[in-house]
Amino acid sequence: MKLYYEAKETSEEEPEFIRVDITDMTDEEKADTLKAIKDVMAGKTYRLTEHTCCHDGDPQSTPCVMVEI
């Protein structure tokens, strides 16, 4: 299982997309990463999610869980 922060711009034809693997990060590293993502996406309309990827390459296993931040 992997854990990601993802940000996807919602208002553009070719949206900017950011995905950062936070699986092994400390809480402090996660907070810093989240801040950095928000800094990059500043001024844009975007959706920010925490993505728990449960299938790790096996599409037949448990579905991913996406939680909006």
User: Could you give the number of structural domains in the chain?
Assistant: 1
Question: Which tokens hold the place of 33?
Answer: 């990463």
Q: Are strands 2-9 and 65-68 parallel, antiparallel or unpaired?
A: unpaired
Q: How confident is the model at residue 16, as a pLDDT?
A: 93
Q: What's the domain range around 43?
A: 2-68
Q: What whole-number distance in Å separates Cα of residue 15 and Cα of residue 51?
A: 18
Q: How confident is the model at residue 58, as a pLDDT?
A: 66
For residue range 44-58, list pLDDT tens digits in order. 999 999 999 987 666
Q: How confident is the model at residue 60, as a pLDDT?
A: 72
For residue range 12-69, list pLDDT tens digits in order. 788 999 999 999 999 999 999 999 999 999 999 999 999 999 876 666 778 889 999 9
Name the residue among 15, 5, 2 with its Cα closest to residue 44.
15
Q: How confident is the model at residue 12, as a pLDDT?
A: 77
